[in-house]
């Protein structure tokens, strides 16, 4: 059985008459490509087992293969991603996780992970990933290097059965046996060692050198005879140069040469010598041709015998090999996800179900920012719905209320969009059964995740397509999370405020969860009592005249844009007198005193 066919657990099953076209994304052209390369049965097996590599090797673009497999393994999970921005955020998360994959095969499996449909499935995957995280974290540096080296060799050999068996033996040798490694702890080492030798001996389809002494000897003899045959005329000249003139002397000299230069037996040499040769050339050529033919047959016979013995060894160890292939691949996936969780200090989320609904995070970090510079990321605490957040940072005015809908306001470049992305990341990871980047998190698994980033395209077509994207999921009746960023950027302010108010009201009416980022908070009054307004505040300029923002929202408080800080920086950085005069006119419009105080505070901070 090929390792390509055994590595993945089957995640779906097809009826006996399943056609390739019944899989999402497989049309006539794709079907033809797969059938020509793999055959129908193997193509179906590759799709059902999530085998990206086999589909890519068959000729599909890797991205297309990934999209087909995501739908094949869990189409309902992909339906949770109700907008293109939600799908984009999902792909960004997978890319971050792939960066920590220990094998290419594990990377492919990560790429086809999807949101899960049941809490039980989420909890099970979380159990596996967190157990792997703890096991990996407990290893010392030497053991980690041993494990990674084993998987590096596994990748170098393209995940073959031999590579998997040798990786299993390396893990056994390292003595790792907890968490995900428990899958190999009870494998039969002796059978695996025998299988590893057999697989190495049969690598490439032929019995390899070193597998059998007699086969190696016969191959060496054959090689030496072939070399002589290729230069028979020079050999005849050499024998004659030694003074051999008569037929019997030539025959004896040739026999002596064959016995000294090869390991061929004297009986085989004499049996090969022709009795009716007409001259030296005919005699030498006939002998060497017969020897080549006899030795080739002997090599083939011996190789067939050895190969049969090796196949018997593999058959005897088949169960151990299959278990090793599956275990090594599963460990690779769990370790990859564990390394991702450790890299970003991710924890187990709590799931909220039933009549209650909540999304809450305590000290959550945005993964895209953390991937670039983790030290600069300010953790944020935020909550919607019936949450259990009871404490907030010292300078925050209150614990968040239990409203399921909020309107988030505040300074430009104040982190409002980043907060939406962070909530989106937490919900996506949790519903995929993965740890989340927060000290603590509560998540309601949702039927639709509506994530809408700010798109600065001001035309009727964009407005219509956006409404078609975000309203139907909200109206469907399922559990929905709305994360909408600056809706006003796609239409005129007056209409934007009316439409946004309608979206907030619809979200409340459907008992959905939602955060709406906007600069139009005042124009939305009065909001439904089930919605609140939160704010993010800029605090001034730092000594380098960069905007200082406290990214932690304050609850039930309207945040304000801070144009005076931006104008202050423009005044300070003006390149010439006329430019400065222009910015000072703007400073008078927003308040000279505020601008001067901002610049004075920045200078004071620099002097400190």
Domain end: 344, 362, 397, which one?
344
- Boundary of a domain, candidates 344, 372, 402: 344
Asked if 361 and 383 touch (Cβ cutoff 8 Å), the reply is yes
pLDDT, position 414 = 65
383 domain-assigned: yes
pLDDT in the model for residue 595 = 63
User: And the tokens for 555?
Assistant: 């609850």
Give the pairing type, strands 480-485 and 358-364: unpaired
Q: Are residues 450 and 312 in the same domain?
A: no
- Structural domain includes residue 123: yes
The answer to whether position 274 is within a domain reads yes
For residue 517, with 0-12 CB atoms within 10 Å meaning exposed, 13-18 middle and 19 or more buried, which class applies?
Answer: buried
Residues 511/478, Cβ–Cβ less than 8 Å: no
CATH number at residue 459: 3.40.50.300
Q: State the Cα–Cα distance between residues 78 and 437, nearest whole angstrom.
A: 22
The H-or-E segment that residue 484 falls in is: strand 480-485
Residues 311 and 227 in one domain: yes
Note whether residue 580 is domain-resident: no
Burial 434-453 (b: 16+ CB within 10 A, else e): bbbbbebbbbbbbbbbbbbb
pLDDT at 186: 85
Chain centroid, CA 26 distance in Å: 23
Same structural domain, 329 and 373: no
In DSSP terms, which residues pair with 359 in a beta bridge?
Answer: 384, 443
- Could you tell me if 340 and 354 lie in one domain? no
- Say yes or no: 202 and 226 in one domain: yes
| 339 and 353 housed in the same domain | no
Task: Give which of 325, 26, 327 is closest to 160, Cα–Cα.
Answer: 325
Peptide bond into 80 cis (omega under 30): no
Burial 566-591 (b: 16+ CB within 10 A, else e): bbbbbbbeeeeeeebeebbeebeeee
On whether both 388 and 470 belong to a single domain, the answer is: yes
Q: What is the pTM of this model?
A: 0.80
* Domain stop point among 520, 536, 552: 536
In contact, 60 and 30? CB cutoff 8 Å: yes
Query: What is the tally of structural domains in the chain?
Result: 3
Q: Measuring CA to CA, which residue among 127, 62, 132 is closest to residue 333?
A: 132
Q: List residues bridging with 534 in a β-sheet.
A: 408
Secondary structure E strands in 530-582: 531-541, 547-554
Look at residue 551 and tell me if it is in a domain: no
Q: Domain check: are 130 and 232 in the same one?
A: yes
How many CB atoms sit inside 10 A of residue 342's CB? 16
Do residues 334 and 359 both lie within one domain?
Answer: no
1 within domain boundaries? no
Whether residues 309 and 224 fall in one domain: yes
Alpha-carbon span 552 to 554, nearest angstrom: 7
Question: 526: closest CA among 512, 509, 505?
Answer: 505
List the strands of the sheet with 513-517, edge to edge.
448-452, 480-485, 513-517, 405-410, 531-541, 547-554
- 8 belongs to a structural domain: no
Find the radius of gyration of the CA atoms of the chain: 36
Co-location of 356 and 305 in the same domain: no
In angstroms, the first-to-last Cα distance of the chain is: 72
Residue 597 inside a domain? The answer is no
Range of the domain at 514: 349-536
Return the pLDDT at 602.
Answer: 55
- How far is residue 225's CA from residue 294's CA, in Å, rounded to a whole number? 11
Judgement on whether residues 274 and 423 belong to the same structural domain of the protein: no
Beta strands in 30-157 (DSSP E): none
Mean pLDDT by 10 residues, the chain (608 residues): 35 50 84 88 83 84 83 78 94 96 93 92 95 92 92 88 91 85 88 92 86 92 89 84 78 86 86 86 89 93 94 93 92 95 96 92 95 86 95 90 94 83 97 97 95 72 85 89 88 82 94 93 88 85 71 87 74 81 80 65 52
330: tokens are 């599963």
């Amino acid at each position: 059985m090929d390792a390509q066919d055994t590595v993945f657990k089957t995640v779906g099953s097809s009826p006996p008459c399943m056609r390739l076209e019944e899989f999402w994304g497989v049309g006539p052209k794709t079907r033809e490509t797969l059938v020509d390369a793999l055959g129908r049965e193997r193509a179906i097996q590759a799709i059902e087992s999530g085998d990206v590599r086999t589909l890519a090797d068959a000729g599909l673009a890797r991205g297309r293969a990934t999209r087909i497999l995501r739908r094949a393994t869990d189409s309902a999970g992909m339906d949770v991603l109700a907008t293109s921005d939600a799908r984009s955020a999902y792909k960004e998360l997978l890319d971050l996780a792939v960066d920590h994959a220990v094998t290419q095969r594990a990377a492919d499996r990560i790429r086809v992970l999807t949101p899960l449909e049941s809490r039980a499935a989420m909890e099970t995957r979380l159990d596996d990933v967190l157990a792997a995280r703890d096991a990996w974290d407990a290893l010392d540096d030497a053991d980690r290097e041993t494990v990674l080296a084993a998987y590096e060799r596994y990748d170098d050999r393209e995940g073959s059965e031999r590579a998997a068996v040798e990786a299993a033996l390396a893990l056994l040798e390292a003595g790792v046996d907890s968490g995900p490694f428990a899958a190999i702890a009870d494998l039969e080492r002796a059978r695996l060692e025998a299988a590893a030798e057999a697989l190495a001996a049969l690598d490439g389809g032929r019995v390899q050198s070193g597998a059998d002494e007699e086969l190696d000897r016969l191959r060496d003899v054959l090689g030496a005879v072939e070399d002589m045959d290729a230069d028979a005329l020079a050999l005849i000249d050499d024998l004659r140069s030694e003074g051999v003139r008569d037929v019997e002397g030539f025959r004896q000299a040739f026999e002596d040469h064959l016995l000294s230069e090869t390991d061929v037996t004297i009986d085989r040499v004499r049996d090969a010598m022709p009795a009716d040769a007409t001259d030296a050339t005919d005699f030498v050529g006939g002998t060497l041709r017969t020897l080549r033919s006899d030795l080739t047959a002997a090599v083939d016979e011996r190789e067939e015998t050895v190969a049969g013995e090796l196949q018997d060894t593999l058959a005897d160890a088949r169960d151990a090999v299959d278990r090793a292939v599956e275990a090594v691949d599963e460990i690779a996936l769990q370790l990859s996800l564990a390394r991702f969780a450790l890299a970003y200090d991710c924890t187990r989320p709590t799931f909220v179900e039933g009549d209650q609904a909540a999304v809450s995070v305590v000290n959550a970090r945005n993964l895209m920012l953390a991937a670039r510079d983790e030290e600069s990321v300010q953790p944020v605490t935020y909550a919607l719905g019936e949450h259990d957040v009871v404490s907030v940072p010292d300078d925050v005015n209150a614990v968040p209320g239990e409203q399921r809908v909020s309107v988030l306001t505040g300074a430009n470049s104040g982190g409002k969009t980043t907060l939406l992305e962070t909530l989106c990341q937490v919900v996506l990871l949790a519903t995929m059964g993965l740890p989340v980047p927060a000290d603590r998190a509560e998540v309601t698994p949702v039927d639709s995740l509506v994530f809408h980033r700010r798109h600065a395209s001001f035309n009727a077509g964009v407005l219509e397509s956006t409404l078609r994207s975000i309203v139907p999921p909200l109206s469907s009746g399922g559990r929905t999370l709305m994360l909408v960023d600056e809706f006003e950027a796609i239409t005129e302010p007056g209409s934007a405020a009316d439409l946004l108010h309608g979206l907030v009201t619809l979200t409340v009416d459907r008992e959905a969860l939602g955060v709406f980022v906007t600069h139009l908070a005042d124009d939305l009054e009065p909001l439904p009592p089930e919605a609140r307004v939160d704010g993010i505040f800029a605090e001034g300029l730092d000594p380098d005249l960069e905007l200082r923002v406290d990214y932690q929202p304050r609850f039930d408080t309207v945040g304000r844009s801070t144009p005076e800080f931006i104008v202050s920086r423009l005044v300070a950085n003006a390149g010439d007198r006329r430019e400065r005069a222009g910015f000072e006119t703007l400073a008078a419009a927003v308040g000279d005193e505020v601008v001067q105080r901002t610049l004075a505070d920045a200078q004071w901070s620099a002097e400190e």
